[in-house]
Amino acid sequence: MKLALLGYGKMGKAIEAIACERGHTVGVTIDDEDDWMASVEALRGCDMAVDFSTPATAVSNIMRCFDLDLPVVVGTTGWYDQLESVVHDCEQRGKSLFVASNFSIGMNIVFDLNRRLAQLMNGRGEYGVGITEIHHVHKLDAPSGTAIALARDIIDELDGKNDWCLLREGKKADKDEVPIVSVREGEVPGVHEVVYDSDIDRITLRHEAKSRRGLAVGAVLAAEFLEGRKGYYTMREMLDQC
């Protein structure tokens, strides 16, 4: 495949390296509006777009890909309040879209473990639950899309939990909320930790990315999976068929 990389920061460069290792090429890289204006014809020659841009530009990038009939894999988070309308547009127009809050295969295994753990903990009111996520200082959204996905799965399984909240200084979570603590420091690729805590013990589910490579591998695998398919897909569909 010939890929278009929308966002050419550290993740974009990691994806480029993995794509080349797997026999693909990069036809165009886009980092700003000037790149878009100069690259329309080059984009028409690409087979797939991979977006790791910014929350402010992700939806616009997706719509531009739809207009070019270019399948797009999206790893940018922080725009999911518009996900429903974007998916509707994808399906109505017969386009191709793959969205994931985290492309790491290991993290997606943790998603399954998180759902199962929440099922086992349901009804055990002696435990409080919370999430902590740590990322590099360049990450623009907080909490991370991965932390929100973990929280939503917990909410689906735990009676009495109806929402999540971002804990800031001086704020406490309501009883029906799953609290998320977000930390931005150094060049941390990503740490996510779910903790159930009681007076007698603590249960911890933790995933720690060692580098961006795992995310890049997953993103390229998603592009390979999306090739030739129409509609909206997530990591769950891909992993179910791999």
Catalytic pick among 2, 10, 136, 139? 139
Residue 171 designated active-site: no
**CA triplet 39, 8, 24: central angle to 5 degrees?**
75
Q: What one-character-per-residue DSSP string does 49-84 give?
A: EEE---TTTHHHHHHHHHHTT--EEE---S-GGGHH
Catalytic pick among 24, 95, 135, 207? 135
Q: Which two tokens stand for residue 111?
A: 């998603």
How many C-beta neighbours within 10 Å does residue 122 have?
14
Which residues on neighbouring strands pair with residue 174, listed in sequence order? none
Kindly give the pairing relationship between strand 96-99 and strand 72-74: parallel
Residue 136 designated active-site: no
Does the N-terminal peptide bond of residue 143 adopt cis geometry, omega within 30 degrees of 0? yes
Q: How far is CA 4 from CA 93, 103, 121, in A?
A: 21, 18, 44
The label of the residue with tokens 């127009």 reads: 93
List, in sequence order, every beta strand (DSSP E) within the chain.
Answer: 2-6, 25-30, 48-51, 72-74, 96-99, 128-135, 163-166, 177-184, 191-197, 202-208, 231-233
Q: Which residues are known catalytic residues?
A: 135, 139
